[in-house]
Amino acid sequence: MLDQLAERVNADANLVRRGRHVDTTFMLAIDDAYHLIRVTEGRIVSIRPGPFITPNYSFALRASRDAWEKLWSPKPIPGFTDIIALVKKKLLRIEGDLHPLMSNLLYFKGVIAAAGTAAAAAGKAAT
């Protein structure tokens, strides 16, 4: 699901520019599938799939596969339009140090949106 995330984010010059001060690792959890995503100067340099014994990350975004798929649908329904909407509906948990996420919120929303674009492209290629 996150196979093409790095190339999609790194190919988006505006998104990389927006995240030029981001240097962190965060976890994206889809049910029990964990991914550590390393970002340096706005570019995704690695995505490591779990499981992990003691992962080192700044913050984690945890939601069910159903919630992520609704967020990443081509036309998300109201309440599933971004990560903050999922938090409000108590479908997504944000854990850890919120400072890197909140100070670069538009960048991380763009990264999550790029993951949805990659997921949609993978779904189209499978059909």
Cα–Cα separations (whole angstroms), residue 25 to 38, 80, 94, 97:
4, 24, 14, 11
At 44-83, the pLDDT tens digits run 999 999 888 888 999 999 999 999 999 999 888 888 888 9
CA–CA dist 48, 83 (Å, integer) = 21
Catalogue all structural domains in the chain, each as residue range(s) with its CATH number.
5-62+93-126 (3.30.1050)
Cα–Cα separations (whole angstroms), residue 24 to 45, 65, 74, 85:
10, 24, 29, 23
> What mean pLDDT is predicted for residues 15-21?
95
pLDDT at 124 over 60: no
> What mean pLDDT is predicted for residues 76-101?
92
Amino acid identity for residue 93 in this structure: R
CA–CA dist 93, 116 (Å, integer) = 18
Query: Which candidate, 92, 76, 72, 75, places its Cα nearest to that of 84?
Result: 92
At 19-42, the pLDDT tens digits run 999 999 999 999 999 999 999 999
pLDDT of residue 68: 92
pLDDT of residue 96: 95
Task: Count how many residues are written for the chain.
Answer: 127
